[in-house]
RNA sequence: GCUCGAGUGGUGGAAUUGGUAGACACGUUGGACUUAAAAUCCAAUGGCCAUUGUGGCCGUGCGGGUUCAAGUCCCGCCUCGAGUACCA
């Protein structure tokens, strides 16, 4: 018994130490942060986890450890440190589990959190647990709902460039309508004046306001995942399938809440320059926002049968280049009609035939006698078309008829003068046969282009098949083909479309647009390479300058005009902006890219057909999910219009449901709730039966997405228990923002973009003092697993066996499954025949286990497979612990292990992602049990640079573990290994120890500054090795050393600190101060190199002058040996660094 | 395809502004202690050649270049990883 007790004091008993300090920290609230302090603040944050059922594996804590080291270091440096932790506890897995088992997600979540907490506690983090938040707690999501309401009550004023109260917008509408308002709003918003607005019904007003609110309800094309029964955000889809579960996703139109994040596109982009985040992360946000500069250009659709009204048509049907002359001419002609024209006009004018006719009307390059625009009918008298300016060749007549789609009928003067009734009835007849072309004319196609400089290279236009104009403009004769194409594309899933980028497909609509400058007709195609969701869903195709347009043009044999000077485009498009010189482009000729863009935009603006424009790829974020386990929207519906629940009645708590699946009518799971109606008088949730749509209304059935709760949690930590506000002004003014944020790179475009958006919004509203929530962000790399493999042999009956099946089966059934060790496999089987008959080794095995006549063994074959072996049964030398492994598998399995000669059973190792299915998951609990949390913390850091991904191999942990033992022993050099530290001041000869210490202080501080934690672990090892060999026992050295180590290995540091005589925790002990004076060297071991190659070293005083060094080196016998009599051409001496002899 | 990142011993990885490549560990080999094992300690360990010893040659993905000197800087390639994907 005595012996055991001694051993406890002597040895590094990490289990006891760690349990002791865990308790101490919890009881003394050692890491509790104060919201007011004389000290400077420091806010260190790790991304909070989703508490999954599997618990933590060794990869998870990597980032937490790094943050913790930094937080602890800052505490030693005299900062008031906020280092909180919580749980992102709403989420899909708990809900899926609920669907399968009926278990309430809150219960599973609670259990998972409990396990997480145990694991986190064990790892020795300096979290202030008093500030824990859980996104699924009503007291937390009250404020998520509150922010939602704030967004609902705000609009984005582009003039002040910030979010403002919606009431201000209403005031503007009341005064001036919406035309002059510069806001972020929906495209389909109608224009109204003050009078209109004031006459709108309340409902209409609400509808209009929804088009301006920062969160709004709208019919949106969403990514619907039938298998999950919910909508997914773009960033929740990976390769066309759901990120969770890999289910197919289709496009569907649904009424959904959306977040107007697009209003913040530019600020989200600009803000990236102000924060110290990893470049790849910034790049991916930049990419996601997708800003491109260019121009929007309006193309007028040339009408086959232009429509009625709106005076604008007069311009639209005529070639605008010559419209002035045409109109003048037409006027003149109207003044002097022929008798026949006059007579017919009397019969047609004033809608006598129920159709409005115009006379002497310009169409394209011509003036026609009479035209019914809405029917596309031209009536010509005397069989003539008054041509103007251009030759009346057959081509142009054809153009009017076919390309422009007009029906032309002709009468002679005689017919009109003598049989006006017959003529009119003929016209009536034709009119009746024509479809009403209402809405045909006056259509415009707006495109976005980044290359307005290439506008003269346009030879066609392409619309997305979903473009709203497609059905309108498609010519009769192309209708069938276009419809078929549109239908075919709609059917194709996103995934198909993505997988199949190479195939070129499209259909001509039969319609033409007019080129803004040349006024030439430009054919309009549709093609699925144009995306409805980007830009305007239409492109001006410039085949010579864009490869996709080029390929399309080649495929459909469309002209490819070359507008580049000295460039060959016979093989491919030319897209190099830097070397672009424009040609064949009228006023753009000879200009480079930049100048041509500017000029083209200027000219377009003159025409009123374009302007410079910035386009973003970023879409508004869909915010509704058809799930149960998420934040309920604080919304009820009156007359179908959403109403917010007043702040003082929040939180609106998640109702109980019987089933977590969608309802039979396809409503979200909350549709199952029986108690889910809002009493607007009593302001409480009541039974659905009471809904009267008078005072009691239905509540919203969707819930918020996973990112809702995580978009502001970092601010809530500052004042997590505040019930009156999301946080107090004092709290956020003290803490301001996160100084260091560490987490995985997978959140680059999800959490980290949405959080920045919400933060900017809160900043606009004066609720947050900083526009960016995290100054510095680090992505920790992934820890991958090292899988272990074994080769398994099974004996089988060979197909085409020659003897009795019954007998062979008898033998085979009794044969074991053989596991081959790696070396045996490598030497005897890999790269060799796996047919027993041709492989002596296998033949031998077969005979060994068949225990049968040779005749029988010919009918037995060997089948190989490579199996994952659970890494818990693998030792440091990649060998299998056969006994332990056997104990883990069912007994009835007859397995034999073919080991190597020395009895070891080697395994093959391979790096793979850490996952349950690969049996390579390493559990931190087991590591802590065997080596302790300090060892785990050190080892995770020791593995390599924080930001790199690196493989886990438990074997290596013995290195850091024995370091900790050495560290312990350094303080326990007394008799029987008792604690022994000398109090006496540093003696003579302690120079070396002080040097070791200060070298370490310097390096560790540098490392922490650079987040290079792996190298500081090495530094500690070197220091302890040095002090051990120096037999250092001085308190003056060992005390600061304990503080140095404490951020990395806090448990052992606390224990040593206590043994050194302190009664307070080491947590706030001041970090040792580095003193340069202990590192001053008097001499240096110079590397002496010859032609750049180091040959030997020489100890020389550091204060030696350059020429003295040269003389000393040249005088050295080894120098002479190296030179072998040659005279050096040059001797380079860099004092304090190197000597290089050339020659 | 585009964007970004990375290639160094058997393995993880060091190497500050160009200045002794492989620190520190793991693993391996040999040795000490032990009845034995574990633990601990000592020594060797980039490759090749030579060797009693001193030593020599090659070497940071490949090919060039700049420099007294290149893992590090420049040019051109190759491979791997991550993100993104018809973005007009």
Same domain as A477, residue A610: yes
Residue located via tokens 């019954």: A806
Strand runs labelled E in A623-722? 635-638, 641-644, 677-679, 684-686, 696-698
Whether A86 maps to a domain, the answer reads no
- Angle between the N-to-C axes of helices A924-931 and A105-122, in degrees from 0 to 180, rounded to the nearest 10: 30
pLDDT at position A341 over 90: no
What the block records as the tokens of A526 is 């549709």
- Protein A947 CA to nucleic acid B62 C1', in Å? 27
- Does the residue A284 lie in any domain? no
Of A398, A433, A468, at which residue does a domain stop? A433
The integer distance in angstroms from the CA atom of A533 to the C1' atom of B87 is 9
Residue A377 covered by a domain:
yes
Using alpha carbons, select from A4, A29, A14 the residue that is nearest to residue A1065: A29
User: CA-to-CA distance for A255 and A668, rounded, in angstroms?
Assistant: 13
Judge whether residue A876 contacts strand B, using its CB and a 7 Å cut-off: yes
| Distance in angstroms: CA A117, C1' B48 | 56
Instruction: Judge if A486 and A509 occupy the same domain.
Output: yes
Q: What distance in Å separates the CA atoms of residue A865 and residue A449, rounded to the nearest whole number?
A: 56
Cβ distance A535 to A619 under 8 Å? no
Q: Which residue is nearest to nucleotide B28 (CA to C1')?
A: A877
The answer to whether residues A739 and A776 touch, using CB atoms and an 8 Å cutoff, is yes
Asked whether residue A849 falls in the same domain as residue A957, the answer is no
The verdict on A886 and A972 lying in the same domain is: no
Percent above pLDDT 70 for chain A: 91
Tell me the sheet residues that pair with A411: A381
Contacts of residue A191, Cβ cutoff 8 Å, sequence gap at least 6: A177, A178, A179
pLDDT, tens digit (0-9, with 9 covering 90-100), for A1074-1092: 988 888 878 788 888 888 8
Closest CA-bearing residue to C1' of B6: A948
The answer to whether the CB of A710 falls within 8 A of the CB of A40 is no
What element of type H or E holds A514? strand A506-514
- List the one residue out of A716, A623, A554 whose CA is nearest residue A236: A623
CA distance A22 to A680: 50
Query: Which segments within A340-499 are labelled E, that is strand?
Result: 358-363, 366-372, 377-381, 386-387, 407-411, 444-449, 460-463
Query: Distance between CA A699 and CA A696 in Å, rounded?
Result: 9
C-alpha–C-alpha distance, residues A477 and A468, integer Å? 19
* pLDDT over threshold 50, residue A388: no
Q: Is A1006's CB less than 7 Å from nucleic acid strand B? A: yes
> Are residue A316 and residue A336 in the same domain, yes or no?
yes
Q: What is the DSSP letter of A156?
A: E
pLDDT at A361 over 90: no
pLDDT in tens, A373-385: 767 788 888 755 5
Distance CA A868, CA A938 (A): 28
Q: How far apart are CA A910 and CA A812, in angstroms?
A: 32
CB of A789 within 7 Å of some strand B atom: no
Mean pLDDT of A470-481: 87
Contact status, residue A33 vs residue A758, Cβ threshold 8 Å = no
Asked if strand B contacts A1015 at the CB level, meaning under 7 A, the answer is: yes
Q: Last residue of some domain: A912, A939, A971?
A: A912
Contact A753, A282 (CB under 8 A): no
Say yes or no: A1065 and A1119 in one domain: no
Does the structure show a pLDDT above 60 at A5?
no
Looking at the DSSP assignment, which residues form a beta bridge with residue A1088? Answer: A1096, A1139
Specify whether A506 is located in the same domain as A398: no
CB atoms within 10 A of CB A895: 13
Q: Domain check: are A890 and A954 in the same one?
A: no
A315 in contact with nucleic chain B (CB within 7 A): no
Read off the pLDDT band of A398 (50, 70, 90): low
Report pLDDT for A496. Answer: 60
- For the record, the structure tokens of A501 come out as 């980028």
Query: What's the rounded mean pLDDT across residues A164-174?
Result: 94
DSSP string for residues in A117-145: HHHHHHTT----GGG--BTTSHHHHHHHH
The pLDDT of residue A390: 41
Is A156 part of a structural domain of the chain?
A: no
Range 564-623, chain A: CB under 7 Å to any strand B atom:
615, 617
**A1103: CATH:** 3.10.20.590
User: pLDDT tens digits, residue range A647-682?
Assistant: 999 899 999 998 888 887 778 899 999 999 999 999
Per-residue confidence (pLDDT) for residue A170, from 0 to 100: 95
Q: Smallest Cα–Cα separation from A775: which of A746, A745, A747, A742?
A: A742
Question: Quick one: DSSP state of residue A350?
Answer: T
**Residue A1138, φ and ψ in degrees, nearest 5:** -160, 160
| Mean pLDDT, residues A222-228 | 75
Is residue A463 within 8 A of residue A446, CB to CB? The reply is: no
Close Cβ partners of A1143 (under 8 Å, ≥ 6 residues apart): A1091, A1123, A1126, A1127, A1128, A1129, A1130
- For residue A1072, the domain's CATH number is 1.10.730.10
End residue of a domain, out of A565, A582, A615: A615
Task: Assess whether A325 and A376 both reside in one domain.
Answer: yes
**pLDDT tens digits for range A684-710:** 999 999 999 999 999 999 999 989 999
- Identify whether A898 is part of a domain: yes
Q: Give the nucleotide with minimal C1' distance to the Cα of A950.
A: B12
> Cα dist. A642→A207, A645, A699, A1081 in Å?
10, 10, 9, 76
| Range with lowest mean pLDDT among A746-755, A863-872, A1057-1066 | A863-872
Question: Which bases of chain B come closer than 7 Å to a protein CB?
Answer: 3-5, 11-16, 19-21, 23-28, 39-41, 55-56, 68-70, 81-88
Name A residues 1081-1110 whose Cβ lies under 7 Å from strand B. 1085, 1087, 1089, 1091-1097
Q: Which of A83-87, A393-397, A775-779, A1000-1004 has the lowest mean pLDDT?
A: A393-397
Are A373 and A477 in a shared domain?
A: no
Do A936 and A898 belong to one domain?
no
Nucleotide nearest A536, from its CA to each C1': B88
The enclosing domain of A327 has a CATH number of 3.40.960.10
Question: Does strand B come within 7 Å of the CB of A748?
Answer: yes
Instruction: Report yes or no: A84 and A765 within 8 Å, Cβ to Cβ.
Output: no
Joined together, the tokens standing for residue A818 give 């053989």
Average pLDDT value for residue range A1118-1134: 79
**Structural domain total, chain A:** 5
The answer to whether position A847 is within a domain reads yes
A644 belongs to a structural domain: no
Q: Which of A24-33, A154-163, A752-761, A779-788 has the lowest mean pLDDT?
A: A779-788
- Angstrom distance (rounded) from CA A370 to CA A411: 12
- Asked if strand B contacts A1140 at the CB level, meaning under 7 A, the answer is yes
CATH for A487: 3.90.740.10
Q: Which of A52-66, A410-424, A952-966 shows the lowest mean pLDDT across its residues?
A: A410-424
The position carrying tokens 């239905």 is A698
pLDDT the model gives residue A305: 45
Full DSSP string of A161-225: TEEEEHHHHHHHHHHH-STT--B---TTPPP--HHHHHHS-HHHHHHHHHTTBSEEEEEEEEEEE
Angle at A116 between CA A111 and CA A122, to 5 degrees: 130
Asked if strand B comes closer than 7 Å to A956 Cβ, the answer is: yes
Nearest-CA residue relative to C1' of B20: A1087
- HSE-CB of A92 using CA atoms within 13 angstroms: 16
* Interface predicted TM-score of the whole assembly (ipTM), two decimals: 0.93
The answer as to whether A203 is a domain residue is no
Confidence at residue A240, expressed as pLDDT on a 0 to 100 scale: 63
The CA–C1' separation of A1131 and B43, in angstroms, is: 39
Longest distance between any two alpha carbons in chain A, whole Å: 137
Within this chain, do residues A1135 and A1023 fall inside the same structural domain, yes or no? Answer: no
| CB of A510 within 7 Å of some strand B atom | no
Which domain, by its residues, includes A574? Answer: 444-615
Tell me the residue length of chain A: 1143
pLDDT at A428 over 80: yes
Cα within 13 Å of Cα(A59), Cβ side: 21
CA–CA separation, A73 and A1067 (whole Å): 9
């Amino acid at each position: 018994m005595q012996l055991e007790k001694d051993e406890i004091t002597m040895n590094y008993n990490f289990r006891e130490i760690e349990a002791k300090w865990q308790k101490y920290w919890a009881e003394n609230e050692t890491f509790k942060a104060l919201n007011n302090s004389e000290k400077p603040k420091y806010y260190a944050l790790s991304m909070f986890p989703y508490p999954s059922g599997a618990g933590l594996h060794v990869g998870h804590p990597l980032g937490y450890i790094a943050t913790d080291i930094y937080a602890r270091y800052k505490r030693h440096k005299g900062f008031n440190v906020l280092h909180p932790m919580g749980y992102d506890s709403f989420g899909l897995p708990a809900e899926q589990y609920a669907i399968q088992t009926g278990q309430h997600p809150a219960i599973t979540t609670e259990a998972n959190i409990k396990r997480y907490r145990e694991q986190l506690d064990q790892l020795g983090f300096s979290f202030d647990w008093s500030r824990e938040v859980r996104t699924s707690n009503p007291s937390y999501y009250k404020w998520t709902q509150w922010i939602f309401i704030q967004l609902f009550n705000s609009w984005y004023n582009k003039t002040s460039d910030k979010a403002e109260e919606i009431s201000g917008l209403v005031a503007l509408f009341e005064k001036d309508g919406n035309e002059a308002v510069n806001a972020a709003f929906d495209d389909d918003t109608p224009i109204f004046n003050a009078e209109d607005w004031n006459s709108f019904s309340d409902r209409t007003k609400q509808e209009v306001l929804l088009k301006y609110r920062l969160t709004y309800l709208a019919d949106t094309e969403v990514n619907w995942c039938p298998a999950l029964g919910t909508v997914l955000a773009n960033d929740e889809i990976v390769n066309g399938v759901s990120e969770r579960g890999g289910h197919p996703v289709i496009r569907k139109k649904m009424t959904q809440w959306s977040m107007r994040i697009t209003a913040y596109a530019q600020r989200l982009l600009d803000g990236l320059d102000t924060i110290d985040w990893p470049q790849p992360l910034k790049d991916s946000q930049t990419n996601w926002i997708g800003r491109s500069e260019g121009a929007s250009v309006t193309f007028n659709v040339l009408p086959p049968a232009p429509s009625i009204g709106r005076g604008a048509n007069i311009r639209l049907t005529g070639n605008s280049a010559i419209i002035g002359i045409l109109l003048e001419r037409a006027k003149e002609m109207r003044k002097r009609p022929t008798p026949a024209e006059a007579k017919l006009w009397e019969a047609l004018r004033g809608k006598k035939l129920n159709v409005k006719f115009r006379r002497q009307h310009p169409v394209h390059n011509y003036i026609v006698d009479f035209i019914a625009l809405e029917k596309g009918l031209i009536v010509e008298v005397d069989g003539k078309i008054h041509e103007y300016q251009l030759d009346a060749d057959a081509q142009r007549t054809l153009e009017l008829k076919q390309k422009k789609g007009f029906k032309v009928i002709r009468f002679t003067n005689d017919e009109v003068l003598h049989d006006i009734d017959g003529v009119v009835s003929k016209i009536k007849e034709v009119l009746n046969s024509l479809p009403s072309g209402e809405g045909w004319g006056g259509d415009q196609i707006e495109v976005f282009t980044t290359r307005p400089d290439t506008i003269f290279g346009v030879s066609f236009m392409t619309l997305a098949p979903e473009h709203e104009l497609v059905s309108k403009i498609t010519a009769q004769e192309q209708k069938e083909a276009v419809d078929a194409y549109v239908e075919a594309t709609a059917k194709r899933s996103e995934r198909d479309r993505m997988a199949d980028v190479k195939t070129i497909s499209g259909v001509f609509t039969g319609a033409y647009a007019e080129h803004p400058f040349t006024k030439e007709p430009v054919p309009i195609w549709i093609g699925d390479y144009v995306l409805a969701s980007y830009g305007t869903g239409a492109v001006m195709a410039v085949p010579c300058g864009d490869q996709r347009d080029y390929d399309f043009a080649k495929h459909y044999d469309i002209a490819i005009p070359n507008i580049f000077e000295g460039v060959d485009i016979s093989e491919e498009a030319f897209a190099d902006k830097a070397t672009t010189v424009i040609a064949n482009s009228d006023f753009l000729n000879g200009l480079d890219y930049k100048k041509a863009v500017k000029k083209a935009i200027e000219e377009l603006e003159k025409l009123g057909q374009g302007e410079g424009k910035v386009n973003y790829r970023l879409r508004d974020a869909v915010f509704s999910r058809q799930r149960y386990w998420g934040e309920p929207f604080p919304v009820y519906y009156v007359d179908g219009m959403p109403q917010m629940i007043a702040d003082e009645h929040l939180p609106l708590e998640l109702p109980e449901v019987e089933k977590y699946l969608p309802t039979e009518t396809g409503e979200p799971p909350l549709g199952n709730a029986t108690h889910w109606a809002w009493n607007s008088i009593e302001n409480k949730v009541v039974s659905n039966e009471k809904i009267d749509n008078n005072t009691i209304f239905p509540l919203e059935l969707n819930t918020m997405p996973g990112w809702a709760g995580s978009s502001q949690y970092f601010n809530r930590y500052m004042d997590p228990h505040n019930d009156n506000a999301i946080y107090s002004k004092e709290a956020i003014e003290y803490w301001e923002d996160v100084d260091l944020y560490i987490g995985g790179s997978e959140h680059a475009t999800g959490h980290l973009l949405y959080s920045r958006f919400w933060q900017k919004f809160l900043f606009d509203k004066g609720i947050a003092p900083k526009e960016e929530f995290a100054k510095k962000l680090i992505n920790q790399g992934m820890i991958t697993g090292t899988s272990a493999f074994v080769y398994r042999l099974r004996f089988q009956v060979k197909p085409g066996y020659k003897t009795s099946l019954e007998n062979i089966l008898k033998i085979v059934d009794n044969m074991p499954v053989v596991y081959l060790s790696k070396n045996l496999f490598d030497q005897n089987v890999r790269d060799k025949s796996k047919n027993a008959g041709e492989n002596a080794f296998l033949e031998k095995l077969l005979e060994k286990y068949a225990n049968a006549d040779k005749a029988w063994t010919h009918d037995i074959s060997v089948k190989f497979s490579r199996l994952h072996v659970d890494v818990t049964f693998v030792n440091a030398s990649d060998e299998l612990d056969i006994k332990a492994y056997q104990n883990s598998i069912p007994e009835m399995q007859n397995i034999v292990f073919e080991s190597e000669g020395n009895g070891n059973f080697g395994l093959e190792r391979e790096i793979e992602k850490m996952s349950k299915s690969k049996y390579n998951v390493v559990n931190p609990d087991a590591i802590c049990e065997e080596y302790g949390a300090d060892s785990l913390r050190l080892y995770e850091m020791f593995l390599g640079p924080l930001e790199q991904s690196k493989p886990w191999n438990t074997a290596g942990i013995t290195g850091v573990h024995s370091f900790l033992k050495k560290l312990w022993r350094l303080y326990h050099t007394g008799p029987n290994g008792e604690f022994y530290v000398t109090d006496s001041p540093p003696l003579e000869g302690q120079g070396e120890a002080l040097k070791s210490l200060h070298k370490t202080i310097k390096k560790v501080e540098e490392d922490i500054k650079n987040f290079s934690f792996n190298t500081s672990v090495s530094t500690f090892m070197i220091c302890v090795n040095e002090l051990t060999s120096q037999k250092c026992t001085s308190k003056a050295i060992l005390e600061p050393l304990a503080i140095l180590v404490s951020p990395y290995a806090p448990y052992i540091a606390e224990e040593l600190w206590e043994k050194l005589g302190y009664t307070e925790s080491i947590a706030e002990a001041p970090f040792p101060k580095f003193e340069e004076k202990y590192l001053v060297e008097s001499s240096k071991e110079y590397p002496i190199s010859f032609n750049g190659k180091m040959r030997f070293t020489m100890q020389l005083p550091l204060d030696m002058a350059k020429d003295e060094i040269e003389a000393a080196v040249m005088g050295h016998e080894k120098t002479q040996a190296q030179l072998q009599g040659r005279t050096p051409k040059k001797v380079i001496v860099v004092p304090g660094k190197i000597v290089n002899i050339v020659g």
